[in-house]
Amino acid sequence: MILAPKFYYFDVGIVNYLLKRGAIEKGSESFGHAFEHFIYQEIYAHSNYSGLQYAIHYWRTASQIEVDLVLGDHEVAIEIKATQNANPRHAKGLKSFAKEYFVKKLLLITNDPFPRQMGSVLVLPWQVFLQRLWAGEIIA
């Protein structure tokens, strides 16, 4: 495993301004970055406001396989994709992570219209994910 932290600024709007992104078009690379940043900010807020104070990490191997967020003590692994049509290749990092660590939940957060199971990975539309996160159903 490689220690290579990701950096998230406190406000996705300020990040967009500082990077001079301008209008962010759905489907663009900038949209994907902003989408990931938005989901991270919600998780960070939940960790603090819920009082759980769980760790939030990023995981990457030397061969560049990665998982966007790992919550707690490897309890929940999350991959964030702005796509509307998640497919098994989007879950590659999650499956690799699950081979190395005992993980309770593997989640792929997307713009898909409906929740669905994709093997061991639960694909959740971002709205459903946030509802479940704040309802205490993602991490305890």
Show me where the domains of the chain are located. 12-134
Percent of the chain with pLDDT over 90: 69
121 and 104 in contact (C-beta within 8 Å)?
A: no
Average pLDDT over the chain reads 89
pTM, two decimal places: 0.88
Chain segment 78-89, per-residue pLDDT in tens: 999 999 999 999
Q: What is the pLDDT of residue 13?
A: 72
- 30 pLDDT band, cuts 50/70/90, is confident
Question: CA-CA distance, 13 to 2, in Å (whole number)?
Answer: 29
